[in-house]
Amino acid sequence: MKKFNQLSPALKKLIIPESDISRTGTVSELVHGSERPVSDFAERTLRHCNGGATLQAALWLKKHLNDGGKMIVTIAGAMSSFQVGITLAELIRKGKVHLVSATAANHEESYYRYVAHSHYAYIPRYTELTPEQEAELRDAGLRRITDTFLPEDESVRIMEPHLVKMWRDAQTKGKRCFPHEYFRRLYSEKLIKPDSMTNPGDCWTHAAYEKDIPIVIPGFEDSTMGNIFASYTYNGRHRKDKSVVLDPAIMKSGLEYFTWMYDWYMDAAKDAPIAFLQLGGGIAADFPICVVPSLKHDLQLHDGIRDWAGFVEIGSSPMSYGSYSGAGGKEKITWDKLSTKSYYQIIQSDVTVAFPWIAAILLGL
């Protein structure tokens, strides 16, 4: 410790002496009979590199929530197809999540899992597929997402007629809704039922519906159902069937999601700081995190805007020229997305590996 005492106070704050965290006993002795064996195992073994970053982020988020803070979760990639709902839905049910921002694809894929779970399949050695085999899968209606096949006929085409009817009714009545509000009616009006082999409790959109957790879906058109909606609004020279042409205005836009978040953030942050857990990169995260600087600089509400309390990102995108998804927390300070007092942690890992550890610690398992 004498060597540490020679360092500047600023540098010493960055260092965690081993004596502060070492625990006696073997792993088996530590977790045997424990009321939270997963958390104890994590605290004993996730000590260095990305494992250590995962643990430190989880412990910070746990303290933040225990102190009365709030948390939003953002979902990118194909996390819903990869069953992120198993853990996210439980966090929602336990009151740990206060808003979800998801890509439109992730949002709809949560519904697809709900109605067609038993029709999904896996191919662990997907990198060895030939282009001809990929075409064979295409012709069979199996849409590959990395190692997972989404069954289009049993999912997309089951839901499409219900949504199209909602859209047509909205046009007739002059109503407008956000994309997730149309989808949520599939649950509230019992228009769909869970697949016989699924556990409805594993569906994060269903958990959000039951808890009335707000959802934000930036870029709805960048999804299967968004493409389908676009096709119904197209009235150009290449459209053959003009019997159903929808007004795109019946779908509220990303701009309206963003301005809705102004009010949500101001209300939610009145009595509690809000943390940001980003699962993957992309618009699902880049969209909502900009609300704070926009409130400050675009609406010019400089005083009284609470900064994001902390930012945790799990992602596999490296920081490189042009790779915005790999940008670190410090860079966000320059854009006023984070303050110098905001906690930040980047976990360079696969979400399917790191997120369950964080969820387990937040759930006290």
Contact assessment for residue 274 and residue 72, using Cβ atoms and an 8 Å cutoff: yes
Residue 277 within a domain: yes
Q: Which of 248, 310, 280 is nearest to 146 (CA)?
A: 280
Residue 24 within a domain: no
Rounded (5°) CA angle 316-17-353: 25
Which domain does 234 fall in, by range? 35-118+154-362
Give me the chain's average pLDDT, please: 90
Looking at residue 123, the DSSP 8-state letter turns out to be -
Contact assessment for residue 133 and residue 157, using Cβ atoms and an 8 Å cutoff: no
Identity (one letter) of the amino acid at 56? Q
Residue 264 is predicted with a pLDDT of: 97
Residue 184 within a domain: yes
Q: Tens digit of pLDDT for each residue in 268-301?
A: 999 999 999 999 888 998 899 999 999 999 999 9
Residue 17 is predicted with a pLDDT of: 76
Question: Which CATH number goes with the domain that contains 160?
Answer: 3.40.910.10
Residue 330 has pLDDT above 60, yes or no: yes
Residue 332 is predicted with a pLDDT of: 83
Q: Tens digit of pLDDT for each residue in 48-68?
A: 888 989 999 999 999 999 999
- Bridge partner list, 70: 274
Residue 245 within a domain: yes
Residue 19 within a domain: no
Q: Tens digit of pLDDT for each residue in 84-120?
A: 999 999 999 999 999 999 999 999 999 999 999 999 9
Residue 235 is predicted with a pLDDT of: 87
Please tell me the number of Cα atoms within 13 Å of 35 on its side-chain side. Answer: 2
Residue 136 within a domain: no
Residue 223 within a domain: yes
Number of folded domains that form the chain: 1
Looking at residue 122, the DSSP 8-state letter turns out to be E
Contact assessment for residue 218 and residue 74, using Cβ atoms and an 8 Å cutoff: no
Residue 316 is predicted with a pLDDT of: 74
Average pLDDT over residues 115-130: 93
Residue 325 is predicted with a pLDDT of: 58
CB contact set of 135 (below 8 Å; sequence gap of 6+): none
Residue 128 within a domain: no
Q: Tens digit of pLDDT for each residue in 7-44?
A: 898 888 778 777 666 666 777 877 777 888 888 888 88
**Cα separations in angstroms, 105 against 179, 219, 223:** 12, 9, 5
